[in-house]
Chains A and B, each alone.
Chain A
Amino acid sequence: MKILYEKTLTGGGMWSQTIGRGKVLRLTDLEGGANLSTLLYNAAEPIERYNMPDTLKGQHTFQLTAGHCLHSDMGRLFCSLIHDTAGWHDTVCGCTDAALVAEKYGTSTYQEARNDFYRNARENFLIELAKHGLGKRDIVPNLNLFSKVVADEAGKLSYVPGASPAGAVLELRFEMDTLVVLTACQHPLDPAMIYAPKPVQLSVYAAPPITPDDTCLHSCPENERAYQNTSDYYALRS
């Protein structure tokens, strides 16, 4: 299996590229404890974007792991989580912003710290989105890959430190040509009071052909129908 592309996203770094359908993005939490705030858009029509409620209620889940798919707001699938050794990914807590970073970690500017200055995910998202002509109206609740957050019976949330071990791997197989927007900033509920975002390795390879017993696409009837919608979309476009 030939690696087509590889890059290490630094802690606090950002990245946005279109990944074509039929490609796998392998994400590796190199040191353990990474958080990858993620947004997804239809590369051809970015007004179609990742939708947290459709993803969760369609699959009757709060936790995201292997076997789940990430849904767009148009009844289609951006990608399937085909492999996951971390076990749990969050999608309800949003991302860090300037106010949160200042309150938790203090301030650290370029003048003082050069390229180690404190970044925040919201600002990073806005920078990357701008390069594709997108902006504030295009930011919706994001994914936080490699982070585990659990709810108790009263809905109180707790971030679980150490849930993603060093070397944890998550693979996303793209079912649509997707504009993938990533920033490796800490989870907003991470209790650690030190600014220390971790790096994530990105690797892309061509997916093996989808088989009739594909775990993700047949994990529930909802994913089957969303995949049908996705196939219809490309049948019309091609």
Chain B
Amino acid sequence: MITESTLDPAAAVYRKVIAAGEHWVHLVKAGQHFRILDLEGNQAADTLFYNAHEPEDRYAADVTIRRQGGLYLTTGTVLRSTGGTALLTIVADTCGRHDTLGGACSRESNTMRYALEKEPMHACRDIFLCGIHEWGHGLGKRDITNNINFFMNVPVTPEGKLTFADGISAPGRYVEMRAECDVIALISNCPQLNNPCNAYNPTPVEVFLWD
């Protein structure tokens, strides 16, 4: 559901451009608004969230889907943890729908999906590991679970097929969330070149925080 935000980027307490192929990890405090801006259009921002005080209580795609009874994330979606905690609520969305079934690419899954020889290509699950190592606190691969792909479109048909449609995002589209508790946000700005999730041209995204 397309909804615009009333918040002004000039009033943001934090902003940063994340280049394609890079990670970003940051605390988002309860009550803050967190926006991801698709600067050039159709860029997949692979995102994970953790309860900052108990990282084992982390974003759960299945709990989120089941609690809202629907597959796609948009305005009104409550992003929930494995324990059922409301981590963030999507309060604005000018893209219209976001994916949480498609997961993140990895060097290992790239060999399965495309070709064994594509193993060396940079991939999100390696980037997530760099981000989780930067955060520290003993976190590692066990803490990398199935993520959100903001700005990505992976429709499911009633007959049970997964289709790979063109992206529906565009330059300047954004998604904005309100943190319901202190969360750690981890982004891998996807470097994938083998499918249309980044329109074959990985580009930067920008993040903003407001109090």
| Chain A interface residues (CB < 8 Å from chain B) | 47, 51-54, 56-58, 60-63, 71, 73-76, 88, 92-95, 97, 99, 135-142, 150-157, 188-189, 222, 225-226, 228-229
Contacts and interface: CB of A to CB of B under 8 A. Distances in A.
B106 A73 contact: yes
Q: State the main secondary structure of chain A at its contact with B.
A: loop
A224 B96 CA distance: 36
Contacts of A188: 66
Contact of A229 (B111, B145, B159, B162): B111
The listed residue with most A CB atoms (<10 A of its CB), out of B62, B69, B83, is B62
Contacts of B142: 47, 137-138
25 contacts: A47-B141, A51-B146, A53-B146, A54-B109, A56-B101, A57-B103, A58-B109, A61-B160, A61-B161, A62-B156, A62-B157, A63-B160, A73-B106, A74-B108, A76-B108, A88-B160, A92-B61, A93-B62, A93-B65, A97-B83, A99-B84, A137-B143, A151-B70, A157-B71, A225-B111
* Secondary structure type dominating chain B contacts: loop
A138 B144 CA distance: 10
Contacts of B136: none
A151 B106 contact: no
B63 interface: yes
A188 B63 CA distance: 10
B113 A58 contact: yes
B134 interface: no
Given A63-B160, A141-B146, A225-B113, 11 more contacts: A53-B101, A54-B103, A75-B108, A92-B62, A94-B65, A97-B84, A135-B56, A137-B143, A151-B156, A188-B66, A222-B112
A92 B158 contact: no
Contact of A157 (B63, B65, B109, B111): B65
Interface residues of B, number: 45
B162 A62 contact: yes
| Shortest Cβ-Cβ A-B pairs, 3 listed | A53-B103, A63-B160, A94-B62
Given A62-B156, A136-B82, A155-B71, A57 B116 contact: no
Interface string B52-70: 0000110011110110011
A156 B155 CA distance: 12
A188 B137 CA distance: 33
Interface string B158-171: 11111110000000
B54 to A, nearest CB: 9
B102 interface: yes
B146 A52 contact: yes
A75 B116 CA distance: 10
Contact of B112 (A61, A62, A225): A225
B135 interface: no
Nearest to A150: B158
B160 A150 contact: yes
B112 A140 contact: no
